[in-house]
């Protein structure tokens, strides 16, 4: 039995600039952090069976992988020509549809498990690129390479996407003391609103391609992202918090589905109770609200809990995708 895990991520700044409609023309630039909440894949050989077992929110038993309904599992097994009796079970620390990149994280963990099962040593970049190829090239999903790379590499990273689609991954140059303060002062709350990232991203693409003003907003979002990485590397977390607020206000102008009356209400409660800034994590529309708060964390927590939100406690993950158990 093999157990692979990959971390979920919180997008900090520049989200959306990795999408091909933008990055292919202007290049993308993002800042993101992997967290210690994971998707797990358990892969076992079933030598006395003739079927493949897939266990997630549903159970599938098939004699041939072409009959698998789970699109990512089917594509990953077909791409790697793995059509033999195995069982694949998935577990997750956080529900899907909450803006933490769970779909790509699932695939990255699955690919790591598949390659390890086959005795193949693959790099983090190779896993990330393979996951991106499956999602963008085979499944034709209108996404970028942000989630696959963060799930694979972990850490707090700056991702620069060239116009040709290649990704340069660098470690954010953040001191240990700043890293501690950042972890301590960032709080995340589940709005309870689930959303469909694919639909939201598709609308963003249509908006940007049809309206020049929306493309200008993408330039602004990327520029704010650069200010955020500079603030982090200079240890200026007050500016970091304020830039998060600027980033969120710019993102909201991009799409009507980015926020909603209820999300705006929750966000305003956060700002009124001590947060310097914040944002919806991921494509928008729901999921988790991230805040940066230096002085009134207890007040902020109580206000959000009283509003009906649940806090997600987290630390950063610096391992990325890995095999956590190999019992073969």
Residue 316 resides in a domain: no
The terminus-to-terminus CA distance of the chain in angstroms comes to 6
- Let me know whether 190 and 225 are in one domain: yes
Residue 277 resides in a domain: yes
Range of the domain at 99: 2-173+322-326
Q: Which two tokens stand for residue 48?
A: 């006395």
- Let me know whether 188 and 231 are in one domain: yes
Q: Using an 8 Å Cβ cutoff, are 113 and 4 in contact? A: yes
pLDDT at site 115: 98
- Let me know whether 133 and 250 are in one domain: no
- Let me know whether 239 and 275 are in one domain: yes
- Let me know whether 188 and 281 are in one domain: yes
**Cα dihedral 218/222/224/227 (nearest 10):** -170
Residue 317 resides in a domain: no
Residue 192 in this model has a pLDDT that exceeds 80: yes
Task: List the CATH number of the domain containing 180.
Answer: 3.30.70.890
pLDDT at site 15: 84
- Let me know whether 11 and 136 are in one domain: yes
* Calpha distance 76→130 (Å, rounded): 9
Residue 14 resides in a domain: yes
pLDDT confidence band for 318 (50 / 70 / 90): very high
- Let me know whether 305 and 200 are in one domain: yes
- Let me know whether 298 and 198 are in one domain: yes
The count of other CB atoms within 10 Å of the CB of residue 314 is: 21
168-178 burial, b at 16+ Cβ within 10 Å, e below that, comes to: ebeebebeeeb
Residue 261 resides in a domain: yes
Which segments of the chain are extended strands (E)? 2-13, 28-45, 52-55, 59-62, 86-92, 156-161, 167-171, 186-190, 277-280, 288-292, 310-311, 322-326
- Let me know whether 193 and 239 are in one domain: yes
Residue 264 resides in a domain: yes
Q: Using an 8 Å Cβ cutoff, are 86 and 53 in contact? A: yes
pLDDT in tens, 223-278: 998 999 999 999 999 999 999 999 888 888 777 777 788 889 999 999 999 999 99
Q: Using an 8 Å Cβ cutoff, are 301 and 311 in contact? A: yes
Strand 52-55 to strand 86-92: parallel, antiparallel, or no bridges (unpaired)?
Answer: parallel
- Let me know whether 221 and 98 are in one domain: no
pLDDT at site 194: 66
Q: Which two tokens stand for residue 112?
A: 């790591």
Q: From 216, 189, 188, select the one nearest 25 (Cα to Cα).
A: 216
Residue 61 resides in a domain: yes
Q: From 319, 260, 245, select the one nearest 13 (Cα to Cα).
A: 245
Residue 236 resides in a domain: yes
- Let me know whether 193 and 105 are in one domain: no
Task: List the CATH number of the domain containing 28.
Answer: 3.30.230.10
pLDDT in tens, 282-295: 656 678 999 999 98
pLDDT confidence band for 207 (50 / 70 / 90): low
- Let me know whether 122 and 191 are in one domain: no
Domain count, the chain: 2
Strand partners, 86: 45
């Amino acid at each position: 039995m093999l157990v692979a895990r990959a971390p979920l991520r919180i997008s900090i700044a520049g989200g959306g600039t990795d999408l091909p409609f933008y990055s292919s023309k202007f290049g993308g630039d993002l800042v993101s952090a992997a967290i210690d909440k994971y998707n797990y894949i358990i892969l076992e050989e079933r030598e006395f069976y003739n079927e493949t077992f897939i266990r997630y929110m549903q159970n599938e038993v098939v004699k041939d992988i072409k009959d698998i309904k789970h699109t990512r599992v089917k594509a990953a097994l077909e791409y790697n020509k793995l059509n033999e009796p195995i069982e694949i079970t998935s577990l997750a620390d956080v529900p899907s549809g909450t803006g933490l990149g769970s779909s790509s994280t699932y695939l990255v963990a699955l690919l790591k498990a598949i390659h390890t099962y086959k005795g193949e040593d693959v790099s983090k970049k190779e896993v990330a690129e393979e996951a991106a190829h499956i999602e963008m090239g085979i499944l034709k999903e209108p996404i970028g390479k942000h989630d696959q790379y963060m799930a694979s590499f972990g850490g707090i990273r700056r991702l620069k996407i060239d116009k040709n689609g290649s990704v340069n991954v660098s470690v954010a140059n953040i001191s240990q003391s700043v890293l501690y303060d950042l972890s301590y002062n960032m709080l995340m709350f589940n709005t309870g609103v689930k959303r469909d990232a694919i639909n939201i991203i598709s609308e963003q693409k249509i908006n940007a391609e049809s309206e020049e003003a929306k493309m200008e907003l993408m330039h602004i979002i990327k520029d704010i992202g650069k200010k955020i990485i500079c603030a982090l590397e200079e240890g200026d977390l007050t500016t970091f918090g304020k830039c998060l607020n600027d980033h969120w206000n710019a993102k909201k102008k991009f799409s009507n589905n980015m926020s909603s009356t209820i999300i705006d209400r929750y966000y305003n409660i956060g700002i009124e109770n001590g947060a310097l800034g914040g944002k919806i994590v991921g494509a928008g529309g729901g999921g988790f609200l991230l805040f940066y708060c230096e002085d009134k964390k207890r007040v902020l927590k109580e206000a959000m809990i009283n509003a009906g939100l649940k806090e997600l406690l987290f630390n950063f993950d610096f391992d990325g995708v890995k095999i956590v158990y190999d019992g073969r």
